[in-house]
Structure 1
Amino acid sequence: MKREAEITRVETPVPRAATLKEEHRQMAMQRFGVLRPHLEEDIPLARAAHNAGVALRTAQRWLTRYRDCGLAGLARTIRGDAGVRRAPIELVSLIEGMALKKPRSSAAAVHRRIGKIAAEQGWPVPSYSTIYAILAAIDPATMTLAHEGAAAFRDRFEMIHRHRASVPNAVWQADHTILDLLILDQAGRPTRPWLTTVIDDHSRALAGVMAFIGAPSILNTSLALRQAIWRKADPAWPVCGIPDVLYVDHGSDFTSNHLDQVAADLRFRIIYSTVARPQGRGKVERLFGTLNSELLPELPGHLINGKPATPPSLSLSDLDQAVTDYIVGTYNVRIHKEIRQTPLDAWRGRGFLPRLPESLEDLDLLLVMHAEPRTVRRDGIRFQGFRYSHATLAAYVREAVTIRYDPRDLSEIRVFHHNQFLCRAISEEHAGEVLTLKDIQAARRAHRQSLRKTINERVARVSDFLPAGGKSQSGDPQPPRAQPRIKLRLYQEGD
């Protein structure tokens, strides 16, 4: 015996005019326009209805509802059982369960399966339109969570909290991105550069930026922080200071012991964002989008769908200058639509004194100076294939010392003994020059390639005389190779 869902008709109270939807309000006003001549000008209702092309009985019903409920009474009445399905609750739950089960099923597939089950259970067989309506009524958030997982549900439907630091330099955000741009490296080869940015959470002002080639590293991060913290040479870019909090992701450079030591010494906290949730770093991510959409299309070598729109011609220093000009001349001085003022004005605020290190030298020692243990020899200190000397080292021969060096300039090193500064040792071979670690690595690579080329030439020369893999070309007959003996196979009796 077929079961049917019980439906209770509920009289819906007439809504007030202020709560009507726009289309219902327009309908009510149209009907009121039919009644207005009768209500305001005492024209007989029959004539007013005739002039409007409305049946008299309909006009009388509208007039009664208007006098009872006002303008809202002229709107279309909503049925009390609107939205109530007549299908059995068990059947509706089964249809929804099939829709939520992986893999996703189409309405046609659900209709085919439900027809058989409904016949077995004695339920009324629903039509395709009924099943389609039930599937369409399922909450999209529920469908997303069921079929695409928690990450997709979180990105689309979970509420977010928009946080803004209360004062400048309270929170800084730092992150890296690879740019949609090709530049030329030192060898003239096209390559995609990276960009590290440090942005103030309160004002959206850019505090530091670092363009580089190669994967992100602690050195590049340190250089970006150095620029962000210390005063800039350009007075039009006054953003500086030590933040209270540095908000970063879980990159190896941000989780390094070196950055922990920097934070402890400069007295700021490092807070890591939740893994796989870039929304927490929304401000710096939005900045990357702004650079990719506004600055990079104006530069040669801009990539569109992975292909350069114009031939690359910029060097790394050219790119760094272009980014700096955009920050100083456009981004920091343009009104931000969310904070409704320029980032520079928001950072200045009512005037405050940013917290700074005692000197740039102290900041360099902390951020960009790498430490290495060494022993003072009779001719000085050996490091990276160079010899560094200073008169002060004469009293520390055979003593263990710690050297600190800037990878951007290896022409000098700083020597410490028991954490006490001794001197700046100079490489006499490169005195007065700026020699970077990359220069040394490039020279080593070039020397290795030169040696490899020499080896290949010598090997090729040998092959001219021994083309058959080292066999002699002389006319001496080669002795015949002895034929292997065939062993006699023995069998035991009874085999």
Structure 2
Amino acid sequence: MNKYKIPLTAYPEQVRELAVHRYKVIEPYLLHEKTCKHIIEETGLSERTIWYWISQYRMDGLKGLLREPRKDKGSIRVAREVKEQTTKLLLQHKKRSIASIHREMCTFCGLNNFAAPSYHQVYAISKNLSPRLKKLAHDGMKSYQNKYDIVYRREASHPNEIWQADHTLLDIVVATGPNKQGRPWLTIIMDDYSRSIAGYYLSLKAPSSIQTALALYQAIKPSVDDISKARRKLSTALKQELQFHKTVSEEAIQLSQRTEELTPVNSTSKLKRYTHE
């Protein structure tokens, strides 16, 4: 009966490679190309190992050549009380050595009739402790929060919602005066959403609020091209507005003239004119 319930692909690559290697060793025997004795002479493996691999392959195929991991791998075989006391000592003392804790645990086990742990077991318990737990126990809550707590970071949802300022020392050397050289600082203003550069400023002085302010000014102020475009748009809009008013005025005059032509003359005014004549 096949004892391997999980598929071969579920095993780690290294385990599968080992199974393939074992198969290649016994493959000549399975194909009747070599005897078991020849394989033992070529590989240097024991006869018992070769026959075990052959029987496992015939029983379960390639899965039979897999090396099953130990069920107790990673576990430390010490009493629960011993492990708890060791953990307590490890968390209480930050700079105390493993050897010192091991000696104290040997004394503790002697007084309480427990099997004393080895040095390597105490070291393994220390290595298995969570770094977060060690940080909290040794350095306190504030230090733990500074290192491990999640900090909320705002993210922009559209361009120009959030800008970021950053300074970097350029990898170039420029002349700053007679027989003087220096590396310039680059200050940039970057849009958080598009990651595009909105403004920048170069200076030979160390970064400060002045450099940041000048970079912001360079990013905010409109360029010459922007001003020219705005002027052209404004001029076009004014011309269109004037033309519109002119057209409206001409149409109003024409409409007034037509109205006067169509209005009937008052009969009383006609009678007075004929009487006068």
Normalising by structure 1, we get a TM-score of: 0.36
Distance 1:90 1:181, change over 3 A: farther
Distance 1:113 1:15, change over 3 A: farther
- The answer to whether structure 1 residue 230 and structure 2 residue 221 are counterparts is yes
Q: In the TM superposition, what is the alpha-carbon distance from 1:172 to its structure 2 partner? A: 1.6
Asked if structure 1 preserves the Cα contact closer than 8 Å seen for 2:4 and 2:63, the reply is no
Which structure: greater strand fraction?
1
CA distance in 2, matches of 1:42, 1:214: 79
User: Whose radius of gyration is greater, 1 or 2?
Assistant: 2
Corresponding residue SS for 1:25: helix
Q: In the TM superposition, what is the alpha-carbon distance from 1:91 to its structure 2 partner? A: 1.0
- The answer to whether structure 1 residue 36 and structure 2 residue 18 are counterparts is no
CA distance in 2, matches of 1:193, 1:56: 74
Q: In the TM superposition, what is the alpha-carbon distance from 1:173 to its structure 2 partner? A: 1.4
Number of residues of Structure 1 aligned to a counterpart in Structure 2: 221
Asked if structure 2 preserves the Cα contact closer than 8 Å seen for 1:165 and 1:202, the reply is yes
Alignment of 1:404-415 (within 5 A): none
Asked if structure 2 preserves the Cα contact closer than 8 Å seen for 1:14 and 1:69, the reply is no
Q: Deviations over 1:46-94 (max 9, x none)?
A: 3564354433432232123223433232122222222332211121122
- Equivalent of 1:106, from 97, 116, 124? 97
- 1:209 is aligned to 200
CA distance in 2, matches of 1:209, 1:35: 69
Alignment of 1:408-427 (within 5 A): none
Q: Deviations over 1:213-260 (max 9, x none)?
A: 58844x655433221123445x8xx9xxxxxxxxxxxxxxxxxxxxxx
Corresponding residue SS for 2:50: helix
Structure 2 unaligned regions, length at least 5: 227-233, 235-277
- The answer to whether structure 1 residue 124 and structure 2 residue 115 are counterparts is yes
- Equivalent of 1:77, from 68, 74, 79? 68
Asked if structure 2 preserves the Cα contact closer than 8 Å seen for 1:164 and 1:201, the reply is yes
- Equivalent of 1:199, from 173, 190, 194? 190
Structure 1 unaligned regions, length at least 5: 1-11, 239-357, 359-495
Distance 1:156 1:66, change over 3 A: farther
CA distance in 1, matches of 2:150, 2:25: 47
Q: In the TM superposition, what is the alpha-carbon distance from 1:154 to its structure 2 partner? A: 6.3
CA distance in 2, matches of 1:49, 1:160: 62
Q: In the TM superposition, what is the alpha-carbon distance from 1:181 to its structure 2 partner? A: 10
Distance 1:13 1:220, change over 3 A: same
CA distance in 1, matches of 2:146, 2:57: 48
Alignment of 1:46-445 (within 5 A): 46-47=36-37, 49-50=39-40, 51-148=42-139, 165=156, 167-174=158-165, 196-210=187-201, 216-217=208-209, 221-232=212-223
CA distance in 1, matches of 2:97, 2:212: 50
Please say which of residues 162-171 and 203-212 is displaced more in the overlay.
162-171
Q: Deviations over 1:386-435 (max 9, x none)?
A: xxxxxxxxxxxxxxxxxxxxxxxxxxxxxxxxxxxxxxxxxxxxxxxxxx
CA distance in 1, matches of 2:87, 2:181: 55
Fraction of identical pairs, as percent = 32
Which structure: greater helix fraction?
2
